Structure 1
């Protein structure tokens, strides 16, 4: 037995007793004494944890301090009803979450040999929750959760927009606010609002995906996480709920927003400024956009849920964010992985626009936690858990839609082969594209890396697992309109690259094309990454190769492909990724000088030096 288990068992008994007394409408002296003793125990737990080390220790310490503080507030309440609310919305949820986190810290995270089994059990719980009949005994149709950590001006804008564009009049929508240890006027502002369920914490704990504490008090059939730097718009809620009503196996539905304030290609171009002063212009833009249209519902492999609508499955303990992401980043990547691998679908509703100011709360937490080091710290957590990288595995395919538009496939039935789709972002992009055109598409997937089989299990129509891609012809017997190699060629188990392209080309229908990409390790960015620098390796780790990647001679490969398939059939593009280094122009000039490059050849070399990824499109003409 761990040191805390008996203590938390007793604390839970105390909480159950005090809760029963307060629910009866009284607050007896005996219940007061029990709650006072409970507060002292929480302080003792916090004191013990201050001398411990571990992933969740500091978070648990803050939970214990918050529980003690909320117990004191409950004791100081002016009426039994006020005491009951403070106890129900703060003390009890804090204790339940603290107990869960202590179990995770001491029984799982400190025993690496148990983590694989724990992950399997969690995935099984997600899948069981997806398959079971949905509860119908909810008090409300929707619970809206708004968490905040400082930035009260954003919270005020968010809440006012919710009251303006959400119909609370029917009494079937509840609002829950969480002040996560703010030091500004957030608590006073939330307390001035007319809703009942208010959580005010003294110590910031970072409330994971908005559900960590509120999961214990949300009583809606659907639960909305609404970031305090988002702004509600006309028809936002009914449009998002329409997705759940029409589609099966959906977990979260996320609206689109202004593209400069979100990554992952979730945003759209807007015609107003990202300022408080331009919010009326924003509302006019949203009113034109927010017309429910199922053709604009995109299934995604990963979503960043700045606003999300999810079914209330919180009575399943495992349906929660992974608390080991203690510094914000990669938590949504992790939850998306859990959803993909348990068969849940994730929908980006581009028929619903909600403004996003862009990371006001998370940036506040990131700054407090140590000057934006959370990316460096949290990326390895994902890798250790899933054994793949969260960024390199997405399978996003740049410019693919441009090639699809050029293809103009008029056949109502489209057949696509996707080779190594990884997380499946590109695979779903193809499915979304043809869905929007009302064309049916069959997608076969070839997977050589078994770590990704679970990701595409519910995305592809047929899956072929191959240890090597050298024998592709022996495994596929169809002709395809499109063949897409979603992973960089550098990473794939291919012994002979030209015969591989020939095999793909032979399996194309007339006018079909092969799409492929590879990392260009000759580019300026990748060259600089390979030199000693101040850029953290844990963030930029695409440099050569600790895990079997290979460098292809780009110029020779292009020439060989053009010779085999003709220059007309082979299109080449260069993709410039977000750079961590500057002064590429001086670097290029130095190369010209050292190699004595003639003026006529400099444009091509400039493309080669600036292109971090080389894109190939080989058409069957």
Structure 2
């Protein structure tokens, strides 16, 4: 496809959009004539052109499936017009046909994005421009209800039934509408959805998969907030009420989600139970709104994607480029946070998750790596390496987290772990320290700016800014100290001039014989060749010279894949010559990725004295 064809496609889709708006205006004014329906024939021709133009592009897309659904509903609209079935015509036009056409627009816009000037087509590229928070708030004022609960299902009827029943049973204390999206199921889901009184049901003739399926439901939402859920969850007493308490506690909150019995990203809440009834009873006892359990996050997994409906509309819903849905959660988190909103994990609310039924067919492919690469291409960041929190924060001694009103994070990537340290202080002591960030890598500026009050560029550790001096209660350096070119003397001297009396310092040093280091050496990594070698006594002696006293040192051992674990075992057995004590010692060294140093600042600078 060339630039001319791409431009023609977007312009044609825009003409089609204007035709749909014309029909919509005719419907609203009650002046729709049979002759006006000729526009549907023109749209059918347009779909044919779009499909043929995109048939050979390398970009993964679902234009064919989307078009098949649109054609189905064009025929339904014609049939209903002939039969005079006005109510069904209006329903299909609004909640099926118009939404499907919008989804097609997003799909084509993604396919041609590198061939057009996006600024010329702002409607197709909602990421352009600044999100107006006042506009988002205003649009939510006259909503039909408080929340639109959007459930997407593709087969697995027994799980879907459990999910729907749990929503109906546990959501009576919130004004909500239930939107059920049947994503081309063939197992009786259609009939079941049609049997739910009062539900807004959307039926897709053909499966358009997770991303587009969810967007169909979200586009139909008429609540102030939307809460999108998968059919592999069971919901619990007060689940939605608790989410509403959180999201309405601060107009800067744009995305909240509860915990679940099976989930990653430290959003798991373990509650033992022996039956669904027992789980509901235990969940009712647990689900008591408690702000001390709310955690601000850099990335939030959408057990429930609960956001202002107008905000989702403004940013373009889920991004269609995430073909199979993997890393969709990271992307929606980034877009909402970069739009100036906070993401809050509601640890005071638990749901039950069976596990990935909605995306099970995609998981049989290489979907994780595919989604990861898509995220990297879009942001220039690796969601796993740059935006996930490390359990380092769990190893910080509780004593170091008292009386902390300000934190300086240095080279904290997107800030996920730094933010979790702040969350931990909030949970322990009921205060939210102010965050400042210094970074030597400018690609993180946008993201750390979304969570910190101040962000300073940094060339080296000997140039820490005045923020102001002697006002930092805790310094957290995420990048291992041995990766900096600065000397230990320079580093500790600069830190001493920044920290408040009785301040705390947390930093890491790489273990030079960890399995990760060995892998990097085999790959001739520059990061290994440029790294310094520090031993504990040397680090502690230099720190003491500048007024820092050691609090503790913790070895950090992450979870590894089975291949790495086996490599650790093999190397330890070989070097330890099979001797149990030596083998165990070597295994502990190989498994420890780095050491976490935790120090307190006494202010007694021996070097100056």
Q: Specify the TM-score bucket, using the shorter chain as the normaliser.
A: 0.7 to 0.9
Q: Alignment partner of 1:187: what SS?
A: helix
CA–CA separation in structure 1 for the residues paired with 2:585 and 2:500 = 32
CA–CA separation in structure 2 for the residues paired with 1:497 and 1:563 = 10
Paired residue for 2:386, among 376, 389, 393?
393
CA–CA separation in structure 2 for the residues paired with 1:280 and 1:379 = 38
Q: Does 1:339 align with 2:336?
A: yes
Q: Does 1:306 align with 2:299?
A: no
Structure 1 position 13, deviation (Å):
4.8
Matches within 5 A, 1:113-124: none
Aligned to 1:223: 226
Aligned to 1:536: none
Aligned to 2:327: 330
Structure 1 position 549, deviation (Å):
6.2
Paired residue for 2:558, among 547, 552, 576?
576
Q: Alignment partner of 2:396: what SS?
A: helix
Aligned to 1:585: 569
Paired residue for 2:525, among 514, 534, 545?
545
CA–CA separation in structure 2 for the residues paired with 1:114 and 1:184 = 42
- Relative distance call for 1:331 and 1:497 in structure 2 (3 A) is farther
Bigger shift: 346-355 or 133-142? 133-142
CA–CA separation in structure 2 for the residues paired with 1:5 and 1:462 = 41
Q: Does 1:134 align with 2:138?
A: yes
Aligned to 2:449: 457
CA–CA separation in structure 1 for the residues paired with 2:350 and 2:297 = 17
Aligned to 2:507: 516
Bigger shift: 501-510 or 574-583? 501-510
Structure 1 position 339, deviation (Å):
2.5
CA–CA separation in structure 2 for the residues paired with 1:426 and 1:209 = 32
Bigger shift: 464-473 or 34-43? 34-43
Matches within 5 A, 1:91-130: 91-106=97-112, 108-110=113-115, 125-129=129-133
Q: Does 1:66 align with 2:69?
A: yes
Aligned to 2:187: 184
Q: Alignment partner of 1:212: what SS?
A: helix
CA–CA separation in structure 1 for the residues paired with 2:11 and 2:391 = 55
- Relative distance call for 1:178 and 1:488 in structure 2 (3 A) is farther
Aligned to 2:605: none
| Equivalent pair of 1:90/1:199 in contact (CA under 8 Å) | yes
Q: Alignment partner of 1:339: what SS?
A: helix
Matches within 5 A, 1:385-464: 385-394=378-387, 396-407=389-400, 409=402, 411=403, 414-436=405-427, 437-439=429-431, 441-464=433-456
- Relative distance call for 1:350 and 1:142 in structure 2 (3 A) is same
Q: Alignment partner of 2:271: what SS?
A: coil
- Relative distance call for 1:18 and 1:209 in structure 2 (3 A) is closer
CA–CA separation in structure 2 for the residues paired with 1:381 and 1:388 = 10
| Equivalent pair of 1:49/1:61 in contact (CA under 8 Å) | no
Q: Alignment partner of 2:99: what SS?
A: helix
| Equivalent pair of 1:23/1:84 in contact (CA under 8 Å) | no
CA–CA separation in structure 2 for the residues paired with 1:475 and 1:550 = 34
- Relative distance call for 1:239 and 1:282 in structure 2 (3 A) is same
Aligned residues: 585
Paired residue for 1:558, among 520, 529, 536?
536
Paired residue for 2:593, among 589, 592, 612?
612
- Relative distance call for 1:401 and 1:572 in structure 2 (3 A) is closer
Q: Alignment partner of 2:131: what SS?
A: helix
Aligned to 2:607: none
Structure 1 position 227, deviation (Å):
1.6
5+ residue gaps, structure 1: 532-542
Aligned to 1:478: 470
Structure 1 position 377, deviation (Å):
1.5
Aligned to 1:257: 260
- Relative distance call for 1:502 and 1:154 in structure 2 (3 A) is farther
| Equivalent pair of 1:40/1:68 in contact (CA under 8 Å) | no
| Equivalent pair of 2:127/2:316 in contact (CA under 8 Å) | no
Matches within 5 A, 1:272-311: 272=273, 278-311=275-308
Structure 1 position 598, deviation (Å):
7.6
- Relative distance call for 1:473 and 1:300 in structure 2 (3 A) is closer
TM norm structure 2:
0.85
Bigger shift: 358-367 or 599-608? 599-608
- Relative distance call for 1:489 and 1:148 in structure 2 (3 A) is farther
| Equivalent pair of 1:448/1:468 in contact (CA under 8 Å) | yes
Structure 1 position 406, deviation (Å):
3.2
Q: Does 1:494 align with 2:494?
A: no
Structure 1 position 478, deviation (Å):
1.6
Structure 1 position 164, deviation (Å):
0.6
Q: Does 1:202 align with 2:194?
A: no
| Equivalent pair of 2:243/2:346 in contact (CA under 8 Å) | yes
Aligned to 1:266: 267
Aligned to 1:538: none
Structure 1 position 489, deviation (Å):
4.2
| Equivalent pair of 1:395/1:426 in contact (CA under 8 Å) | yes
CA–CA separation in structure 1 for the residues paired with 2:162 and 2:590 = 46
Paired residue for 2:348, among 351, 354, 359?
351
CA–CA separation in structure 1 for the residues paired with 2:178 and 2:524 = 50
Q: Alignment partner of 1:589: what SS?
A: helix
Deviations 1:413-432 (A, max 9, x none): 53322112221212222222
Q: Does 1:46 align with 2:51?
A: yes
| Equivalent pair of 1:328/1:366 in contact (CA under 8 Å) | no
- Relative distance call for 1:14 and 1:134 in structure 2 (3 A) is closer
Q: Does 1:237 align with 2:240?
A: yes
TM norm structure 1:
0.83
Structure 1 position 90, deviation (Å):
0.9
CA–CA separation in structure 1 for the residues paired with 2:28 and 2:499 = 69
Aligned to 2:86: 80
CA–CA separation in structure 1 for the residues paired with 2:134 and 2:105 = 25
| Equivalent pair of 1:149/1:364 in contact (CA under 8 Å) | no
Structure 1 position 243, deviation (Å):
1.4
| Equivalent pair of 1:224/1:308 in contact (CA under 8 Å) | yes
CA–CA separation in structure 1 for the residues paired with 2:391 and 2:529 = 21
CA–CA separation in structure 2 for the residues paired with 1:386 and 1:433 = 28
Q: Alignment partner of 1:88: what SS?
A: helix
- Relative distance call for 1:141 and 1:103 in structure 2 (3 A) is same
- Relative distance call for 1:254 and 1:182 in structure 2 (3 A) is same
